Amino acid sequence: MKNISLNIDKALGLITKEQVYAQEGKVKECNQLLETGKGAGNDFLGWMHLPSSITEAELADIENTANVLRSKCDIVVAIGIGGSYLGTKAVVEALNNSFDMLLSDRKNPILLYAGQNIGEDYLYELTEVLKGKQFGLINISKSGTTTEPALAFRMLKKQLEDAVGKEEAKHRIVAITDAKRGALRTLADQEGYKTFVIPDNVGGRFSVLTPVGLLPIAVAGINIRDLVAGAVSMEKVTGSDVPLTENIAGLYAAARNELYKGGKKIEILANFHPKLHYIAEWWKQLYGESEGKDGKGIFPASVDLTTDLHSMGQWIQDGERTIFETVISVEKPDHKVVVPTDEANLDGLNFLAGKRVDEVNKMAELGTQLAHVDGGVPNLKITMPEVNAYYIGQLFYFFERGCGISGYMLGVNPFDQPGVEDYKRNMFALLNKPGYEKETEAIKARL
């Protein structure tokens, strides 16, 4: 099969290939730090060879558990936040029918999400829609005490137990958590839930190819073996022994760091395929949480095109020249739709009659790229042969590997996230959580 590819030619107005290729030694050094585990954050490198280390028994266990939930439930709620939510939603939204919930012949449970916010209206509406429905829960939390998912699970667990009884509920609840410790592990052992382990050495934003992502993705009816196979293939071609000219993860890291040094502080991930929206949401967490520290880091933003050309297009074209664009381009759509002829031609579109909608979209993509490059926005282009589980698996691993290399090139630890704890301390203090009395007093003095 073909691989996804990367083209940096449209970024060469600001940087040169010589500049990028001159970084080969640095890229190799950073990639070797990942391989050898000698870099910062080396206790969170379990994702590196995760795809190739997943066993047949592990995949079968996930598939069997997914089938149990599929047999019992019309709706399965995946409870989690950050990497415990975004990776799953990215894959499911990319690979399932856009209007899946409305299909009368739908074969798979509807996958809903909770624990990714603290919205009272959202939780109310979710609990209302679950009334009278056959539903199950996949609770994803290493500790079991992260506020958003813990709050959602407390409510949904009670609703499920009230509806079907504790004995049946335990067969509809799966916990994905720490192997030995934490509130969710304790509860799962006490109640007898089926459990899967979140590996200690895999951070949340890198966890989509663990049971965190694979189980709910399998529940949604997606072939997780193809997803893993794609990631395995990308793992092989992005190693530290692969020359920079052939290593797209290294090339991506080198190009974006050169653009950053040239004053391009914002990277916009753009797609012309609406089903890739949540791929960009996952990517924003991956790069924002990995690189945004020590006063450094490219700010990750995203747009869905052509939709956002009618909202953000003006800024991208003529705004402050601090941005570059990475475009995900899909070669082949799943379906064929042809523009019909209209005798009156009041909309003036008969010049498109007989053309595929995808041809119109491709010309919009090319026209946009040319306009943005002319407007001073360097473009990187990632090409996917098609949107399927195999190439989504490739894309995920490509971005993960590129992120690790890029973070080390930037001089930060790509695998911690110390800044995200600040809001939690303030929130707990404001809510008078036991143990936060000093913080509460300090905040009161500021208000």
What are the residue numbers of the active site?
289, 310, 424
Burial grade of 291 (CB within 10 A; 0-12, 13-18, 19 or more) = buried
CA-closest candidate to residue 29, choices 364, 358, 408: 408
Residue 263 corresponds to which tokens in the numbers above? 């004053």
What tokens appear for 265 in the block? Answer: 């502080």
Q: Is 78 within 8 Å of 216 (Cβ atoms)?
A: yes
Burial 12-47 (b: 16+ CB within 10 A, else e): bebbeeebbeebbebbbebbbbbbeeebebeebbbb
Q: How far apart are the C-alpha atoms of 442 and 420, rounded to whole Å? A: 19
Pure H helices in 292-328: 313-318
The two tokens of residue 383 are 């090409």
Quick one: tokens of 116?
Answer: 């990714």
d(CA 18, CA 224): 40
SS3 (DSSP) at 53: helix
